[in-house]
Chain A
C-alpha cells in the first residue's frame, strides 16, 4: 500500500517534469508581429488614378491608370536559423483607396526577430492551376482568366491619349513562369522592434521602363503572348523596393 503510494507520487512527479520539459522544448522562442505596407507610386510620387498625367515612357502621348493590382504570394519571414512561411499566403494588393497603399499584417509570427522578407509577385504554379479558394485567390474574381489558364498576376488597365485619339491600355500578365521573387534583408534598426513596420514602394513606372522600355502606342496590350508577358514580368520583377 505504502509502496504503491510512493510509486504514484514518483509517477506524478515524472509526468510533471516531462510536461515541463516538453513545454520548454516546444515553447516558441518569441512572438513578433510585422506590418508590410505597400505604397503605389509612379516614379517618386504617389499614384494618381484616372487622370492623363503620365508620359508614355517609350513613345509619345500621355496615359492614365484606371486599375492597378497584383497578387503577392508565399510570404516568408526568417531570422538566422529559422523561418516562417505564412499559410495560404495569397494577397491581392489593390490601391484604389485614398492612401493608394495596401497593408499586410502578420501577428504572432513565431520568430524572435525578423531579418529577412521574401515573397512572390504572382502565384505559385500549384495554386495557379487550382480552383480552390485560398487567401485572396478566387476563381470567380476579376483576376481569374479561367480555370484552364490560371490567374492574372499583375493587372494594369487605362488609356493612352495621343493628340485627340484615346485608345485602351490592357496589360494582363500571368502564366506560372512569370512569378518573380522579391527578397530583402531588414536593417538591424527595423528588425529590433517587436512590432516591426516595413514600408515598401511599388513603382508602376518600372513596368514600362525597366530592362525593356515600352512604347504604349506600339504595345497597347499584353495578354496571352508569352514573349510579351515575360518582358513585362522581367520589368515588374524590380518594381518593389523596401523604403527604410
Chain B
C-alpha cells in the first residue's frame, strides 16, 4: 500500500515538475535553416533581438491570419494582404472600418528582407517591428487596443504555448516580432525572371526586349532606347533602393497644387514632398490596381503614364523628367515616348516577375484552414 502511494506520489511529482519546467523554461529556438536567399538580392539584416526561428514564424503566421488581432475580431492582416494577390487586396484603397476607404492602397508583402528599410508608402515606420503594430491600432484599420489584445491572446492556451515557445511571454513587442518574422520569410525568388537569371529558362524575344528596355535609361545621343524602370526599381530585386532614402521618389502623378506630402510628412524636408515608396515589381501582374492610391487599373495605364502622362512638379525626379526616347524636343506631353511595341515588350517582361510558387506556397497560407 505504502509502495503504491509512494509510486503515485513520485509520478505526480515528476508530472508536476515537468509541467512547471515546460511552463517556465526559455523559448525553444529552432533557427530557420533552409530558406533560400538568392545572392543577387544582396545583403540583408535581421534585428539581433528577433532572430528568424521556426517558432516565431509559426506564431507570426497564425497572428497574420487571425481576426482576433482586430477590435471587432473580424479583420485580420490577411483581410487586406491576400496571398494569391501577392499579399495585396485587389482594391484601389482598402476598406475602412468606418465604412469608407483608407487613404492608401494595400502594399504587396514580398522580399521585405531587402530593399528599403522604411515601411508604408510614406516611410513612417523605421522597421518591420514598428510597422506591424500600427495597422492593428489604427482606428480605421483594425482598431485594437494592444493591452486588450494581449488579454485576449492570454486566454488562449494555444497562443500561450506558441508565445512561450517562440519568445516567452505574450507582449506587444513579441506580437510585432512574430508578425515581422512571418513577413520577412515571404520570399519570392522563383519567377521566370529568377529562372532566367539562374540560367534555367530562356526569355522569349519580346520578354528579352522588354528586359533590355527595363534596364536602360534612354540616351538619344548614342541611340540607346530605354524604359527607365531601373532608375527607381533595382535590377534584381525590382524594388526601391535600400540605401538611406534612395527608395522614395516623386514619379509625376500630381501637380504642385495637388501634391500630397508623402515622405515629407516624415522627414520634414520640402525636397521630399510627394515622395512615395518605390514598390517591388515582383508579382506586379497580380497586384493591380497600381500606385499608392490605386489610380491606375492596368499595367497598360501605368505605362501610358510614364510614356506621355507625367505631371511636372518641383520635386519630380529629374531622371523621369529627362528620360525621353524621342530626339526632337517634346511637344506638350512629358514622358518616355516609346513605341507601342516597346510598351508591350516591357509589360511582357513584367509578367515574367510573377512567381506562382510564391502565390501558392502552402507555408504562407492560412493555418486555420487545414494547412500545416
Taking Cβ atoms with an 8 Å cutoff, the residues of A that contact B are 49-50, 66, 92, 94, 96, 131, 133, 138-142, 144-148, 157-159, 167-170, 172, 220-221, 223-225, 228
Task: Evaluate contact between B114 and A140: CB separation under 8 angstroms.
Answer: yes
User: Using an 8 Å CB-CB cutoff, how does the interface string of B115-134 with A read, 1 for contact, 0 for none?
Assistant: 10000000000000000000
Determine the residue in chain B with the shortest Cβ distance to A169.
B318
What's the count of A-B pairs with C-beta under 8 Å?
A: 84
Asked if residues A141 and B241 are in contact (CB atoms below 8 Å), the reply is: yes
Which stretch (B2-10, B16-24, B228-236) binds chain A? B228-236
Q: Number of B residues whose C-beta is below 8 Å from A? A: 32
Beyond the given A92-B243, A168-B321, A224-B224, please list 6 additional residue pairs across the A-B interface where CB-CB is below 8 A. Answer: A50-B270, A66-B271, A140-B235, A168-B319, A223-B219, A225-B221
Q: Smallest CB-CB separation from A170: which chain B residue?
A: B322
- Bound CA span A123–B286, Å: 39
Contact A140–B217 (Cβ < 8 Å): no
> From residue 304 to 354 of chain B, which have CB atoms closer than 8 A to chain A?
318-319, 321-322
B216 CB contacts on chain A under 8 angstroms: 146
Q: Which residue of B lies closest to A168 (CB)?
A: B318
Residues of chain A with a CB closer than 8 A to B115's CB: 140
Asked if residues A224 and B236 are in contact (CB atoms below 8 Å), the reply is no
B241 CB contacts on chain A under 8 angstroms:
140-142
Q: 15 A-B contacts, Cβ less than 8 Å apart?
A: A66-B318, A94-B244, A96-B244, A133-B39, A138-B243, A139-B40, A139-B42, A141-B246, A142-B231, A142-B246, A157-B319, A168-B319, A170-B319, A172-B217, A221-B219
B235 lies within 8 A of A146 (CB): yes
Distance from B275 Cβ to chain A, minimum over Cβ atoms (Å): 12
Which residues does chain A contribute within 8 Å of B239, judged by CB atoms?
140
CB pair A133–B43 under 8 Å, yes or no, is: yes
* Chain B residues closer than 8 Å to A142, beta-carbon distance: 231, 241, 243, 246
CB of B237 closer than 8 Å to a CB of A: yes
Known: A66-B318, A140-B234, A168-B322. A225 touches B219 (CB 8 A): yes
The answer to whether B40 and A170 have CB atoms under 8 Å apart is no
Is B242 in the interface zone, CB < 8 Å from A?
yes
B215 within 8 A of A: yes
Q: Name A225's contact: one of B217, B222, B235, B244 (CB within 8 Å).
A: B222
Give chain A residues whose Cβ lies under 8 Å from the Cβ of B230. Answer: 144-146
Complex formed: what's the CA distance from A236 to B369 in Å? Answer: 62
